[in-house]
Amino acid sequence: MADSEFALIRRYFARPAPDGVLGVGDDCALLPPTAGHLAISTDLLIEGIHFFPDVDPVALGHKALAVNLSDLAAMGATPRAFVLALALPKVDHVWLEGFSRGLLALADAHGCALIGGDTTRNPQGIAIDVTIFGEVPAQLALRRDGAKVGDDIWVSGTLGDADVALRLLLADGSVSDPNGSVLAATRTALEWPQPQVALGLALRGVASAALDISDGLAQDLGHILRASGVGAELRVADLPLSPTLAALPSALARRSALTGGDVYQLCFCAPASARGELAAIAQRLALPLTRVGQIVAGSGLRVMDEHGQVLPPVAGGFDHFGSGQGGD
Ligand SMILES: Nc1ncnc2c1ncn2[C@@H]1O[C@H](COP(=O)(O)OP(=O)(O)O)[C@@H](O)[C@H]1O
Ligand SMILES: Cc1ncc(C[n+]2csc(CCOP(=O)(O)OP(=O)(O)O)c2C)c(N)n1
Ligand SMILES: [Mg+2]
């Protein structure tokens, strides 16, 4: 009886709901509407696809919510609440305690309440889906379709660290790390992504388009270009790298920065007139913001080297059904 589905929910996930909200325990949660638009997003995490089976459950709880908060950040939305669908092969109290702790600590940090969900058994492995609700004044939402010719292209934080950590954990042989120092320095980026919610809010009325980088900068920027009907030039030498990546062979660091996923930093466009304001935002948030290219007329992405030479088209970026992922 102690391990019933309902006992698990009460023990690990039921929390008092915020005032005026009906949370965990009824057929639906009830969330009063607000003045702005609801921003809604969902992201599914599957064992073996999105995380290793032996990953620290505290980190996994954090990441399950972080990737969803990152979508709200990319839209310029304020987090309000989320629901959690969980499929587990068995009841593992150590895992559940760690997972719920990591999840709810990030929820508390963002004032984003867990208001419902669903819990089932699945012998094939762990699956976690968070659906998140935020709010944003309709006119201020950071959409993908507003980039204009001449806009600067910016990214927050650094790129490629999570990809390097993933390559080392997969032991695919592409990164040399004889004493483990590269993995030690990059693993946090993969396992503890920090959603840039404050940046998203600061970009309201400043950025012309934005998204969060989950599948790789080159691929994700492509979504902005298609939605906005524009092209882009990226300067590979300007991509922001951590000191660890900057010390790796440059071809490897550049590939991870351009095509590596699991980044959860924002890529956004803004007119040149916003450069001063963006410098002030970077300083206030203590977050590097780097100009990496320009929106141009036409379509598609051109990547230039430090001499202004166009590099061969970028291959790669994460695709669940693409080559290398068991797809066709
Ligand atoms: N199964 C689905 N049904 C309906 N819409 C979907 C489905 N999967 C993805 N989408 C939508 O397609 C768009 C692209 O999805 P995705 O690449 O997952 O975006 P993101 O990287 O922001 O999570 C999003 O608007 C998402 O809501
Ligand atoms: C064990 C493991 N293998 C591979 C990856 C790499 N990976 C898996 S999904 C993904 C892209 C992001 O996930 P997706 O479901 O596409 O998120 P979305 O773009 O919808 O936000 C990446 C880079 C990983 N993080 N962990
Ligand atoms: Mg998605």
pLDDT in tens, 35-80: 899 999 999 999 999 999 999 999 999 999 999 999 999 999 999 9
Binding-site positions for ATP: 117-118, 144, 214
Ligand 1 contact via 219 beta carbon (within 6 Å): no
User: Is the pLDDT reported for residue 184 higher than 50?
Assistant: yes
Model confidence at 3, in pLDDT bands (50, 70, 90)?
Answer: confident
Per CATH, domain 152-304 is 3.20.20.140: no
Q: List the domain boundaries for the chain.
A: 5-140, 152-304
Rounded Cα gap, residues 36 and 38, in angstroms: 7
What mean pLDDT do residues 94-113 have? 98
Return the exposure string of 164-173: e unless at least 16 CB atoms fall within 10 Å of the residue's CB, then b. bbbbbeeeee
| Mean pLDDT in residue range 224-244 | 98
Predicted local distance difference test score (pLDDT) of residue 263: 98
Cβ–ligand 1 contact at 214 (below 6 Å): yes
With a 6 A CB cut-off, is 208 part of the ligand 1 pocket? Answer: no
Tens of pLDDT, residue by residue over 127-156, are: 999 999 999 999 999 999 999 999 999 999
If you search the block for the tokens 């499929």, which residue do you land on?
87
Find out whether the beta carbon of 52 lies less than 6 Å from any atom of ligand 2: yes
Which of 1-10, 46-55, 170-179 bottoms out in mean pLDDT, i.e. has the lowest? Answer: 1-10
Categorize the per-residue pLDDT at 1 as very low, low, confident or very high, splitting at 50, 70 and 90: very low
- For residue 328, pLDDT beyond 70: no
Residue 324 pLDDT level (bands cut at 50, 70, 90): low
122, 131, 217, 280 from 288: Cα distances, Å: 42, 29, 16, 11
41 alpha carbon – ligand 1 mean position (Å):
8
Binding residues for Mg(2+): 27, 41-43, 71, 118, 212, 215
For residue range 258-308, list pLDDT tens digits in order.
999 999 999 999 999 999 999 999 999 999 999 999 999 999 999 999 999
Helical segments of 56-195, H only = 57-75, 93-109, 161-170, 181-191
Q: CATH class for domain 5-140?
A: alpha beta
> Residues of the chain with pLDDT > 70: what percent?
98
Do the domains 152-304 and 5-140 match in fold?
no
State the average pLDDT for the chain. Answer: 96
pLDDT category, 2, cuts 50, 70, 90?
Answer: low
In this predicted structure, the answer to whether residue 326 has a pLDDT above a threshold of 70 is no
Give the closest ligand to the alpha carbon of residue 264: 2
Ligand 2 nearest atom to the CA of residue 52, by list position: 1
Whole-angstrom Cα distance, residue 4 to residue 262? 34
